[in-house]
Structure 1
């Protein structure tokens, strides 16, 4: 099979398209012919070695954790899926080695769900990691009807999905973004707020009493600003700052969940959730996708088309 492979830690220039052995299909797994693979910041952070202290990474490395595709074969003792089924998955394994940037992926059934019919292949590939992160972050801070929630980086891959999920739950969403993305946030149901110096004051112009919850999807001073605005520190969640827990907040590292992924698919099919895809690139241009992701200016998702 063709795959993007890294031989050692490094940046986009270490990515090479080449031939790689087809994956074996263990009991409880299915073989998926990949149609599209989502690109996430964690991909290039792993590639750069930033997570070496906490994750077992093996080379040669095929990056990526998000897929959409078609089941090509099933392993022993699998009755959840059949050949020809269209699936999506957050295929994070115990060892980081055989990932999504490939024509074929073997994945355990506990990492997969049926593809939402309402999403095309690139949209479906952009849903798993970002959607699960958004969904689990909202759950951790118990966002619900009539809450006012501040979403930092609301136009990004995770933030754009969290915004929609919070709106679907009946919350009022204030979303930070550059001015060029304000109309985009309004389309998602959020009230846009320009990020940067003076953010807390701008939020208080819209919500004088502060907000009920805040979600940090960007880092920087997002947690610090959130502490000024959220009445209960336990309702601040961050995916970038583990130290948020020291002041009572919630650090969120997304976990695979068939139930959560199925719920996201249901919302997509009901029209309550879409996946904004800014750019699709062919598998061979994975390095360019990483460069765009590293710029931090992507609206919605970046996706590689494979099959």
Structure 2
């Protein structure tokens, strides 16, 4: 299968082994994935201190697609179901910019109805970031907050 990787600041599409889901995981056939600032930082080697140095590193955090295989112990999803998910581990040889991606079932949710895969792919990392920021504020009942600038990701289709 194909995966987009980075090596010394250069992007390359390479053939990698097809990943198999383990216990508590699902495999998603990517229909859309995003490009986020963290992908650019990874490409340029700025985050290499957070993972073991490798010749190549996979890119991509957000994904929208269909479940194509279900690992043991996963009962919340069905084959062919449209989902969104996030791959939040740096340094993997293949991430969401690949034909297929294996994710922990806990990192996957059903895609919202009525949205395209391109639209759905923008949700996981932006939504997680917004949720974490709101949690850090420690708001109390009756307080409110305005979240702006949540459009930092760019969408890419990889057929």
Calculate the TM-score normalised by the size of structure 1.
0.47
Report the CA distance shift for 1:52/1:18 in structure 2 as closer, same or farther (over 3 A). closer
Q: Is the 8 A contact 2:57 2:91 kept in 1?
A: no
2:97 pairs, out of 93, 98, 101, with: 101
Residue 39 of structure 1 deviates from its aligned partner by 1.0
Report the CA distance shift for 1:49/1:95 in structure 2 as closer, same or farther (over 3 A). closer
* Structure with bigger gyration radius: 1
Q: Is the 8 A contact 2:21 2:70 kept in 1?
A: yes
2:78 pairs, out of 71, 82, 101, with: 82
Equivalent residues in 2 for 1:154-233, closer than 5 Å: 154=148, 159-160=149-150
Structure 1: which 5+ residue stretches go unaligned?
161-298
Aligned position for 1:63: 59
Between structures 1 and 2, the one with greater helix share: 1
Equivalent residues in 2 for 1:243-262, closer than 5 Å: none
Residues in 2 aligned to 1:142 and 1:120: alpha-carbon distance in whole angstroms: 33
Residue 16 of structure 1 deviates from its aligned partner by 1.4
Q: Is the 8 A contact 2:50 2:90 kept in 1?
A: no
1:47 pairs, out of 43, 46, 55, with: 43
Equivalent residues in 2 for 1:21-36, closer than 5 Å: 21-36=17-32
Greater relative contact order (Cα < 8 A, sep 6+): 2
Structure 2: which 5+ residue stretches go unaligned?
none
Q: Is the 8 A contact 1:38 1:66 kept in 2?
A: yes
Q: Is the 8 A contact 2:27 2:68 kept in 1?
A: yes
> SS of the counterpart of 1:71?
strand
Report the CA distance shift for 1:58/1:27 in structure 2 as closer, same or farther (over 3 A). farther
Q: Provide, for residues 91-123 of structure 1, a one-character-per-residue CA deviation record: whole Å limited to 9, x for no partner.
A: 123753321111111111111111111321111
Calculate the TM-score normalised by the size of structure 2.
0.86
Q: Is the 8 A contact 2:3 2:94 kept in 1?
A: no
Residue 140 of structure 1 deviates from its aligned partner by 1.1
